[in-house]
Amino acid sequence: MKNYLSSFHPNFIGLTGTKKEILEVAEKYGSAYMKNPTIDSESNYLMFHTGYVYLIDQSGQVRAIYPKETEVNQIVNDIKGLLVSG
């Protein structure tokens, strides 16, 4: 996961765990994922997944959900506001 995510940004952190643990987190945050059934290989596969960015506060509560077309400035301003409000 770390090698894959580093191609997007070196500071990205991916979710890992058992299938049950990953499903629990996905359900908690309303996200979805599925292995592409047309590629039948353990080493070469494609995952379909929700493409949102989640802003989660220190207590684990979702404060905002951003679709891919969200402007970076909007996310930065929301993070600054969250940091100021504690």
Residues 37-66 pLDDT 10s: 887 666 677 888 888 889 988 888 899 999
Q: What is the pLDDT of residue 4?
A: 82
The tokens describing 68, both together, are: 């891919």
3-state secondary structure of 67: coil
What are the residue ranges of helices labelled H in the chain? Answer: 2-6, 19-28, 72-85
What is this structure's pTM? 0.68
Side chain identity at residue 28, one-letter code: K
Q: How many CB atoms lie within 10 A of CB 15?
A: 12
